[in-house]
């Protein structure tokens, strides 16, 4: 699954266009490297997102194409 789509489906970022612009702007890293929106994710990848001055680090647990709102948080776990 693409990085920008994962961020939207898991509801970490509200819109896919915002997720894509965050990736293009260099605010998203996967496994310690800057990532483009089209990067293919795998289960176990670690994503670091800079929300202002507060970075959030999450680990991918599931790559479902669609999930309900209540199940969105089960797609990842917050590490930091």
pLDDT at 52 over 90: no
d(CA 55, CA 66): 26
Mean pLDDT of 60-75: 92
Residue of 45, 37, 36, 38 whose CA lies nearest to 63: 45
pLDDT score for 18: 94
pLDDT surpassing 90 at residue 80: no
What residue ranges in the chain does DSSP mark as E strands? 28-30, 33-34, 46-51, 54-60, 76-78
- How far apart CA 23 and CA 61 sit, in angstroms, is 20
The pTM of the whole model exceeds 0.95: no
pLDDT value at position 11?
94
* Residues whose CB is less than 8 angstroms from the CB of residue 39 and which lie 6 or more positions away in sequence, other chains included: 2, 3, 23, 30
Domain extents for the chain?
Answer: 3-78
The class that CATH gives domain 3-78 is alpha beta
- The pLDDT value given to residue 20: 94
């Amino acid at each position: 699954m693409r990085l920008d789509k994962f961020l939207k489906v898991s509801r970490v970022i509200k819109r896919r266009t915002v997720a894509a612009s965050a990736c293009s702007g260099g605010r998203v890293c996967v496994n310690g490297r800057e990532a483009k929106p089209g990067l293919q994710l795998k289960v176990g990848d670690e994503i670091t997102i800079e929300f202002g001055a507060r970075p959030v680090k999450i680990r991918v647990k599931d790559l479902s194409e669609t999930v309900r709102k209540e199940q969105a948080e089960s797609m990842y776990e917050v590490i930091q």
